[in-house]
A and B are shown apart, each in its own frame.
Chain A
Amino acid sequence: MRVGLINGCLGNLGSVISAFEFYKYNIGIVTAPESLKDYDVLVLAGVGNFKTASEKLKKYNLWNFLNEEVVMNKKPILGICLGMQLFADVGYEGGETGGFGWIKGKVVKIEDNSVRVPHIGWNKVISDGDTLLFKGIKDEYFYFMHSYYFLPEDKDTVIATTRYGHTDIVSCVRKDNIMGVQFHPEKSQSVGLKLIHNFMTENK
């Protein structure tokens, strides 16, 4: 099984690669859009700002090809941080920008004067515990670094939440083959590796 890591020039892919390689998964960076179909599972990750990232994915022609693989061919995809936010209809970081619209909703700024923004550090992820992605992971701490968060319209797509100040941040979403996490599993020590392993086990 081949894992394709999407490089929208969003930056730090090295840690995602080494996390997947820890379990000996075959992961490669997708550079040519046409090669997306050669992968069995996709990961969309990286740092960046919503507008810059969506512009870059479009510029490198990955946008349409990704849509085809994920929507038409139902290929499993894991979005990490900004990667998950891009699943939304619209984001406001860097100005109003359209996302993939795979999961209905918007990406808005954390507005809360009682806490520091960006939300940086380790925070508890509350999931119901019995979904496949969180198998064996119950109320554990994962690493977050973000100022914006995803507000899906359909609450059934919310798999996990994380409390920060007065806000319940949606920390994991899922709709069929489309999965996303707001935190960084590749940076969350052993519990993060476990989540990546769960994702891969489910999609075997």
Chain B
Amino acid sequence: MIPKRIIPVFLLKGSRFFKGTNFKEHIDVGDPLSQSMIYDAQGSEEIVVVDIEASAENRLIDTSLIAMIVKKCRLPIAAGGGIRNISDARKCFDAGADKIIVNSHVVNNPDLAKELAAEFGSQSVVVSIDVKKNTKGGHDVFTFSGTEKTNISIEYVIEKVIENCAGELLVTSIDNEGTMSGFDYGLYKKISDLVPVPLIASGGSGCYDHIVRLFNETGVDACGLGKMLFLRDYDIVRIKAYLKGKGIFVRDA
């Protein structure tokens, strides 16, 4: 087995990092470059950077920002926001992104994942899926940063994107995101066996034991962290030390 990955998830609005609650009420949490350098120095496994307004505004994430981060950091960067086609993806790779993250445009058109994988290799294509619990106990998929309900189930989207060669999945619970009340453990238990590719869980982490529980109870490979890192007194070094003490396999920071 390989070590579990701890991944700060940065949400961009233009040139600043933001953090919200349930995909709303965003507040400014800092400068992308300095924050990335901090988490690189602390030994996070990679960094996720997504412009959450790009798709709705029909534009691409600011690739000069990706280039700036890549120049100063020595860890993998997964970048997304508004990627509609191969040319958009290429701009992100040219800026230095190691992986691209696609969400709304792939949920609406799963063939896009296949085209991207054929061009760049499936290991470089991360599909991000945002979900909300429905009244029947299932999970519905939302696009455009949680603003549009799709009426399709998470199981269906997973099946489609795996068939279309997605290399990795980032699944975020809209209900839990930013609440610091813990992950949607049931969701990740339900989907980890459906997913043959690496799976990143995101949304809801608020303390050490949330992460311990996530890794102990579900088969996810990585966890995305937000508010806990940016607005509370936690850092990657101490998080890893705690996880290690609880018997979870992590890389020494």
Docked pose: A186 CA to B72 CA in angstroms = 12
Known: A14-B70, A93-B121. A47 touches B93 (CB 8 A): yes
Docked pose: A17 CA to B216 CA in angstroms = 39
In the bound complex, residues from chain A placing their C-beta under 8 Å from that of B71 are 14, 18
Docked pose: A18 CA to B40 CA in angstroms = 15
Cβ B124 vs Cβ A47 within 8 A? yes
Q: 5 other contacts beyond A12-B93, A15-B74, A121-B2, with CB at 8 A cut-off?
A: A14-B96, A18-B72, A120-B221, A123-B3, A189-B43
Residue A193 CB within 8 A of the other chain: yes
6 nearest CB pairs, A to B = A14-B96, A11-B93, A118-B123, A145-B123, A49-B121, A120-B198
Residue B159 CB within 8 A of the other chain: no
For chain A, the bracket of interface size reads: 35 or more
Docked pose: A54 CA to B189 CA in angstroms = 40
Q: How many residues of B contact A (CB 8 A)?
A: 41
Residue A100 CB within 8 A of the other chain: no
Cβ B90 vs Cβ A11 within 8 A? yes
Interface residues in A44-69 by Cβ distance below 8 A to B read 47-49, 52
Known: A120-B168, A120-B198, A187-B74. A12 touches B96 (CB 8 A): yes
Which applies to chain A's interface (DSSP): helix, strand, loop or mixed?
mixed
In the bound complex, residues from chain B placing their C-beta under 8 Å from that of A184 are 76, 98
Cβ B167 vs Cβ A120 within 8 A? yes
User: How far, in Å, is B197 (CB) from chain A's closest CB?
Assistant: 6
Cβ A143 vs Cβ B196 within 8 A? no
Residue B97 CB within 8 A of the other chain: yes
Chain B: CB-nearest residue to A118? B123
Known: A186-B74, A189-B43. A118 touches B197 (CB 8 A): yes
Residue B95 CB within 8 A of the other chain: yes
Known: A147-B167, A187-B76. A49 touches B120 (CB 8 A): yes
Docked pose: A1 CA to B235 CA in angstroms = 41
Chain B: CB-nearest residue to A53? B121
For A15, give its contact among B5, B70, B121 (CB under 8 Å): B70
User: How far, in Å, is B204 (CB) from chain A's closest CB?
Assistant: 22
